[in-house]
Amino acid sequence: MSFSISNALARIKQDVAAALAPEAIRAASRQVGHAWRERRLDPVTTVHLFLQQVLHGNAACAHVRHWAGKTFTAEAYCQARARLPLALFERLLVSTRDALLPRDDVREEGRRTWLVDGTGFSMSDVPELRELFGQPGGQAEGCGFPVAHLLAAFCHRTGMLLEAAVAPLRTHDLADVGRLHACMRPGDVLVADRAFCSFAHLAILLAAGLHGVFRMHQRTRVDFRARRPHGGKGRPSSRWLKRLGREDQLVVAFKPKERPSWMTDEEYEALPESITVRELRYRTSRPGFRTQVVTLATTLLDADDDPGDALAELYGSRWRAETNLRHLKQTMGMDVLRCRTLEGVLKEVMVYAIAYNLVCAAAAESARRQDVEPSRISFIDALRWIAEGADPATLDRLLVLPHRPGRYEPRVRKRRPKQFPLMQKTRKQLKEDLMKRSKEGLT
């Protein structure tokens, strides 16, 4: 990392500049038990170059030497990255995250709010990664790429990444949600889609002193009639408890008879037999579109402290998690990772998380100086500002996007891909077929 970027980080926040300072990296290396000898690519230089590489779109290793100011080969750089333990990158992520994340969020009572969502990313097609992560269905072996499942939690206001859990492709979102809970403090609020809405997850949140605001699962029956019956065919399984407002009520939810697939027997047995849950419903409308009905389940039970309109607005902002994942995967290039080993892939994810948080920090500071919400600062403009080590005095000139509430766009691509057929055979088999047809054409 060049001196100009270090200087820029210091202007954003001294704590994060200190967390990535040479002595801090050396101290972290010693703490994780890593020993090294002084060489051209020592831990400090390697970490800084790795971060710079990711900030430049995960550029090729052969390109790194052009901005390093030192002479070395791509192979030497790859070996230097491989020497550093994964624990070092995990520790650096924690230290930079703690320095950057706000102590509270927009809620007056000081409770921080996190947006949680899952996605996937692909990597090199090598046997080790293919066996560990798996491939999407319908692909012959050697004709596709391994894909990992990523579960991420983002700060509601600034978009900063709290934690990222990597797992095999066919992993339920809730299987790794405990890792996210461990990084939170009592009173924090999780906002997520219906995949996270289950009795088990709500009970786990309550036991940890956390709260959740989730869209109700589509198979859960909800009835807002007072004192309505429960249990039996066609009826809600929950028992009505109290009415808080129009289509806003408290119910008692009961432990399901079957254990969720993502839980162990011991975890399932530890769940309480029942919990109190708040159910509420609201409607959204857009010109030319059918009115959409949204039903929420939450552990925030006090309607005075958390009015229904405020919860509806909070859940409506859940889409920011999708935008944050797009920044991470598309704008920064994490959609396809390059390492060919498990440890290498996990290191890449850690460095991407660090770099992403640095960009969010720059955007948040620019937003403060320009008196706008952090979400209105152009992410790619902040990324370029960090990557190029721009003059810190220009931070207050980052591009401010127009305020477009309720904006929506179809998830389609206008630019057509090349009309080549998809690979149905391995490259070796295809080459053999080409050679065979070529020989037949000569005879």
Taking the domains of the chain in order of start, what are their residue ranges?
A: 109-322
d(CA 267, CA 203): 11
CA 116 to centroid of chain Cα atoms: 7
Helix, strand, coil shares of the chain as percentages rounded to 5? 45, 15, 40
Q: Compute how many other C-beta atoms are within 10 angstroms of the C-beta atom of residue 202.
A: 23
What pLDDT, on the 0 to 100 scale, is given for residue 103? Answer: 53
pLDDT at 312 (0 to 100): 95
| Burial label, 225 (beta-carbon count in 10 A; 0-12, 13-18, 19+) | exposed
Predicted local distance difference test score (pLDDT) of residue 224: 96
CA nearest to 117, candidates 202, 218, 191: 191
* pLDDT value, residue 5: 60
Which residues, in sequence order, are bridge partners of residue 377?
Answer: 400
Could you say which residues of the chain have pLDDT below 50? 1-3, 104-109
| 348 backbone dihedrals φ, ψ, rounded to 5° | -60, -45
Does domain 109-322 correspond to CATH entry 3.90.350.10?
yes
What is the distance between the alpha carbons of residues 151 and 160, in angstroms, rounded to a whole number? 14
List the strands of the sheet with 113-122, edge to edge.
161-168, 147-155, 113-122, 189-192, 211-215, 292-298, 274-284, 248-254, 239-245
Q: How many CA atoms lie within 13 A of 224 on its CB side?
A: 15
Q: What percent of the chain has pLDDT over 90?
A: 71
Q: How many CB atoms lie within 10 A of CB 404?
A: 8
pLDDT, residue 3, reads 43
